[in-house]
Amino acid sequence: MANQGKTFKQKLNFILSPVDNHLEEHHTFEVFSIILIILNVLAVVLETVPWIHEEYSTAFLIFEIFSVAIFTLEYIGRIWTADINSHFQGSSHPRIRYLFSFMAVVDLISILPFYLPMITQFDLRVLRAIRLFRIFRVLKIGHYSEALQVFARVFRAKKIELLVTVFAASILMVIASTVMHFAEHHAQPHAFESIPKAMWWAVATLTTIGYGDVYPITTAGRFLTGIFSILGIGLFAIPAGILGSGFYEDIRTRRNKNKAVCPHCNKDIY
């Protein structure tokens, strides 16, 4: 769709929204935003290096003000154009629907650390922790990355199956912690002092990390650890299969939407 004859609000919506939009202006804004987000994440990382922070503190501040100004204008623009955005059409309150969407929350979190100190007083330690939330700006790439949008669609489609897997893993972790507490408590009263304390061992074992700071020394404990390790490998492999099938279904669905049939030979055209 061309930008000619459109109002400023419509033009802004086409620049901000990737839905059914292939305008050159949107592509330019997309590239600019991705570069700005990557530079912001890099700045957050480099600021934790003491000598870099001291030497370039003014440059970091100027870049932060510039970035927040851009992200704030983008956030306000997305709220303003939500009522004409095709993604939110059909809703009686499109702006409220946008405000409670995942990406809107990400947009808000990416700018809040800058404004909060102006609104209320914080302890300096709390303020430093809040400023680290700027790292969440990397999630804003989800506005522009088709790959991240595929991830979001797959997780939404498979959320029930994934929740069932998480529930099953939680049950197995509690069972393993309980059993190992009784098997190792007398031999290692400090490491397996209680069931909650034994849960660290369960997490490290079931996820096959094997951190090594807590491990069984009794024969029964080692035998049970072998069983739980095998169960952990099988259980934690299930989400990979669920997500794999989800990606395949999403790709097949999108391919079928883009498929056309030749009027002459009746064969599929991609």
Whole-angstrom distance, CA of residue 49 vs CA of residue 22: 41
| Domain spans, the chain | 8-144, 159-269
The domain at 159-269 falls in which architecture?
Answer: Orthogonal Bundle (1.10)
The pLDDT value recorded for residue 72 is 92
- Relative to beta strand 260-261, strand 268-269 is antiparallel
Give the tens place of pLDDT for each residue, 133-147: 666 666 676 666 666
Residue 232 pLDDT: 83
pLDDT digit string, tens, across residues 73-120: 989 998 998 888 777 776 778 888 888 888 888 888 888 878 877 776
Cα–Cα distance, 239 to 72 (Å, whole number): 37
Mean pLDDT of 9-26: 70
What is the SS3 assignment for the chain? Answer: CCCCCCCHHHHHHHHHCCCCCCCHHHHHHHHHHHHHHHHHHHHHHHHCCHHHHHHCHHHHHHHHHHHHHHHHHHHHHHHHCHHHCHHHCCCCCHHHHHHCCHHHHHHHHHHHHHHHHHHCCCCHHHHHHHHHHHHHHHHHHHHCCHHHHHHHHHHHHCHHHHHHHHHHHHHHHHHHHHHHHHHHCCCCCCCCCCHHHHHHHHHHHHCCCCCCCCCCCCHHHHHHHHHHHHHHHHHHHHHHHHHHHHHHHHHHHHHHHCCEECCCCCCEEC
pLDDT band at 26 (very low <50, low <70, confident <90, very high): low
> Given this model, what pLDDT does residue 18 score?
62
Residue 208 has pLDDT above 60, yes or no: yes
Question: Rounded to the nearest 10 degrees, how much is the dihedral formed by the CA atoms of 116, 122, 126, 132?
Answer: 30
pLDDT over 50 (residue 125): yes
Q: What pLDDT, on a 0 to 100 scale, did the predictor assign at position 1?
A: 47
Q: What is the pLDDT of residue 147?
A: 64
Most confident of 40-49, 70-79, 233-242: 70-79
Give the pLDDT mean for 31-45: 85
What fold characterizes domain 8-144? Four Helix Bundle (Hemerythrin (Met), subunit A) (1.20.120)
- The predicted structure's pLDDT at residue 63: 92
Q: Residue 216 corresponds to which tokens in the numbers above?
A: 């069984």
Q: Average pLDDT, whole number, for the chain?
A: 79
Assign residue 7 a region: left if phi > 0, alpha if psi is -120 to 50, beta otherwise? beta
Neighbouring C-alpha atoms within 13 Å toward the C-beta of 187: 14
Residue of 154, 201, 151 lying closest to 178 (CA atoms): 201
* Least trusted range by pLDDT, from 32-36, 57-61, 100-104, 138-142: 138-142
